[in-house]
Amino acid sequence: MQRIPVDVARLGSLMCVVPPEPRVNQETGAIRTDADGTETWVVGVSVRQLDRRRADVIEVTVSGEPKGITEGMRVILNDLMAVAWEIDGRKGTSFRASAVLPGAAPVTPPVKQRGGGES
């Protein structure tokens, strides 16, 4: 499998849209583990690039349960990698990070007051 580093600084807004849940083997029902035996978790992350209106959702796998991540919050993806895979004639790309962390709240621009007359 080819691993491609992803420059998350170019991705723009990252938001959790599906909270962390264990990554489960569909055939056995067992929680999947990484090479070290640590349980793996998956988080659904909405990605909106800075120069585009459209957002995409990617599933990001991480070793160990991400703490403090809830639906709707901004997140930080450490060491995000795209992994190209092929199994039984099917191809795809999966995403893996070393950590999914709570992000800073978005900056809200000040509300402009309407009207201009003085009382």
Backbone phi and psi for residue 96, each to the nearest 5 degrees, phi listed first: -135, 140
Burial class of residue 77 (count of CB atoms within 10 Å of its CB; 0-12, 13-18, 19+): buried
Three-state SS at 44: strand
| Residue 40 placed within a domain | yes
The answer as to whether 111 is a domain residue is no
41-74 pLDDT, tens digit each: 999 999 987 777 888 999 999 999 999 999 999 9
Instruction: Provide the CATH number for the domain around residue 74.
Output: 2.40.50
Query: Distance between CA 15 and CA 60 in Å, rounded?
Result: 12
Region 7-25: what's the mean pLDDT? 92
CA–CA separation, 14 and 73 (whole Å):
9
Instruction: Tell me the whole-structure pTM to 2 decimals.
Output: 0.81
Q: What do you get for the CA distance between the two ends of the chain, in Å?
A: 69
Please state the rounded mean pLDDT for residues 87-106: 89
Residue 25: inside a domain, yes or no?
Answer: yes
The answer as to whether 64 is a domain residue is yes
pLDDT tens by residue, 72-88: 999 999 999 999 999 89
How many structural domains comprise the chain? 1
Q: What is the reported pLDDT for 50?
A: 76
